[in-house]
Amino acid sequence: MQINKDNLIKINDYLWEIPKSFRSDMRVPARVYATEKMLEEILTDRSLNQLINVATLPGIQKYALAMPDIHEGYGFPIGGVAAMDFETGVISPGGIGYDINCGVRLLKSNLSFKDVEPYLESLARELYSEIPSGVGRGGKLRLNDDDFDEVLKRGAKWMINKEFGKENDAYFLESFGCLENADPDKVSSHAKSRGKDQLGTMGAGNHFVEVDRVHKIFDEKIAEIFGLKKDQIVVLIHTGSRGFGHQVATDYIRIMMQAMPKYGIILPDRELACVPFSSPEGKAYFDAMAAAANFAWANRQMITHEVRKSWKNILGDAGGELSVVYDVAHNIAKIEEYFMEGKYKKVIMHRKGATRAFGPGQEEIIKEYRSAGQPVLIPGSMGTASFVLVGTKDSMKESFGSSCHGAGRRMSRHEAKREVRGNELREEMEREGIHVKVGSTPGLAEEAPLAYKDVREVVDVVEGAGIAKKVAELKPIAVIKG
């Protein structure tokens, strides 16, 4: 049954609901954060139909949720959030995505734009040279089997112990850069072979390393807590678990498709392949997914090391230190607790193209940030603004402590290449003062701003809905891509 606007109930200016009565197999309603204008565009693809399918999964709690950057994905829409009952619910790789723990890290410097401006071209060139990027591109780090398994167990912490980082880096990462349940034995040898040489690599697609200046501060008090100020130079790193995470997802989707009949699971879409979380297959996937998440944190840690090396090579001692503000995952499943039906309930939180946005006072937030809330890092489309937000108390009640993760695609990569010439886009960005270093000019066209929603509109929706709050706006001054 095709969804249209008449099937949605407007809860407020930023939130719409598809009632449980829309389809007989829905266990809960489906909700989407969007303005009326954005909703018109969302209805042009299958993403809301995918969200309705998510609402049919065994053990789903309260509602299936979508963020304003929603677009069509594999099984779950990208921008999807779903909480499954810990005892009776399922786990679905489609609710995490192929790029397990794709995420964003923000580094801050002590320098202002005027300090760095004379060095920008050299810095962009050095970053492009130092950080391997592009499809299938391997890195400089070569590990034996035992060391690679240790990376999968310990994530960013292993990298830091090997001197690819500062002692306190892990403290400023979500989950301290390591999920403790990771088990390398639950990962196939094929996945390991794909990942072994990819630590410290960016990949292609929408992944990037970006040098930004803090363009605006919206909340002085919280910005100060995060160590951000106007005109400061910061660095954004956006990448994930590369071919390793993709293979983990591929392996377990196949396993789950074969296992579902055993558990009597019937789905409206096979891409939602899932098993009970408590089943052997469910536990094995969760432990393999954690290994892939740890790989991604290790990968961003290695890239952080490469960024610091480039920074030092170009700016010398005058560059000072680059320190971590925060690192967030936006493709992951975690065990969390929420207050529902008069009590705290444990759930398996699926976030796919959605960011954890815990509000102030939550114990999971480090003490330095606890009074403010968790930093939420929202990269824009290439060449446009990115944002630092902060989680709110309302997000804990309304959205399972979740917010958006970026601008969200509105056009396929193929369509973008038809519409945009990569060389023209590069020239336009350089006219705007953005230094661009990219491996593939057609790849540049795929990530053109017109292929994405307006990140400002997306951010305004989550702020208007009260599930995150704007802290700072970042403007790119150098973009490095595969």
pLDDT surpassing 80 at residue 422: no
List C-alpha distances in Å: 62 to 57, 90, 191, 234, 347: 12, 15, 35, 38, 11
DSSP 281: H
CB 409 within 8 A of CB 47: no
Q: Which residue has the tokens 């090396």?
A: 309
What integer is the mean pLDDT of 288-317?
A: 97
pLDDT surpassing 90 at residue 231: yes
What integer is the mean pLDDT of 389-416?
A: 88
Domain count, the chain: 1
Rounded Cα gap, residues 68 and 10, in angstroms: 15
Smallest CA-to-CA distance from 63 within 74, 52, 73, 71 is with 52
In a domain, 456, yes or no: yes
In a domain, 461, yes or no: yes
pLDDT surpassing 80 at residue 301: yes
Q: Per the structure block, which two tokens stand in for 83?
A: 């909480």
Strands (E), 132-279: 208-217, 232-239, 275-276
In a domain, 67, yes or no: yes
Q: CB 383: neighbour CB atoms within 10 A?
A: 20
In a domain, 415, yes or no: no
What integer is the mean pLDDT of 181-192?
A: 98
Rounded Cα gap, residues 440 and 202, in angstroms: 14
CB 223 within 8 A of CB 217: yes
In a domain, 32, yes or no: yes
In a domain, 422, yes or no: no
Structural domain range at position 273: 5-410+452-481
| C-alpha atoms less than 13 angstroms from C-alpha of 114 in its C-beta half-sphere | 1
Which pLDDT does position 415 carry in this prediction? 74
The answer to which of 9-23, 137-151, 251-265, 418-432 has the lowest mean pLDDT is 418-432
In a domain, 316, yes or no: yes
Rounded Cα gap, residues 314 and 320, in angstroms: 11
Rounded Cα gap, residues 331 and 30, in angstroms: 20
pLDDT surpassing 90 at residue 465: yes
State the CATH number of the domain containing residue 237. Answer: 3.90.1860.10
In a domain, 15, yes or no: yes
Which pLDDT does position 137 carry in this prediction? 67
What confidence tens digit (pLDDT) does each residue in 4-24 have?
999 999 999 999 999 999 999
What integer is the mean pLDDT of 428-443?
A: 82
Smallest CA-to-CA distance from 170 within 287, 300, 291 is with 300
Mean pLDDT of the chain: 94
Rounded Cα gap, residues 24 and 2, in angstroms: 14
Which pLDDT does position 413 carry in this prediction? 67
List C-alpha distances in Å: 201 to 128, 151, 247, 301: 11, 15, 17, 10
What confidence tens digit (pLDDT) does each residue in 94-127 have?
999 999 999 999 999 999 999 999 999 999 999 9
What confidence tens digit (pLDDT) does each residue in 36-54 have?
999 999 999 999 999 999 9
Rounded Cα gap, residues 268 and 296, in angstroms: 31
Which pLDDT does position 134 carry in this prediction? 65
pLDDT surpassing 80 at residue 421: no
pLDDT surpassing 90 at residue 256: yes
Beta strand 343-352 with 78-85 is antiparallel
What confidence tens digit (pLDDT) does each residue in 153-176 have?
999 999 999 999 999 999 999 999
Which pLDDT does position 306 carry in this prediction? 96
Which pLDDT does position 404 carry in this prediction? 97
Rounded Cα gap, residues 108 and 259, in angstroms: 46
Which pLDDT does position 481 carry in this prediction? 85
CB 33 within 8 A of CB 68: yes
What integer is the mean pLDDT of 297-320?
A: 97
Q: What residues are labeled active site?
A: 405
What phi, psi does 289 have (nearest 5°)? -60, -40
Q: Per the structure block, which two tokens stand in for 437?
A: 């270093």
DSSP 359: P
Residues 6+ apart with CB under 8 A from 98: 74, 245, 246, 249, 250
| Full strand arrangement of the beta sheet holding 9-12 | 9-12, 15-18, 30-33, 64-71, 78-85, 343-352, 331-340
CB 330 within 8 A of CB 207: no
The more confident residue out of 454 and 474 is 474
What confidence tens digit (pLDDT) does each residue in 342-394 have?
999 999 999 999 999 999 999 999 999 999 999 999 998 777 899 999 999 99
Q: CB 146: neighbour CB atoms within 10 A?
A: 8
What phi, psi does 191 have (nearest 5°)? -60, -45
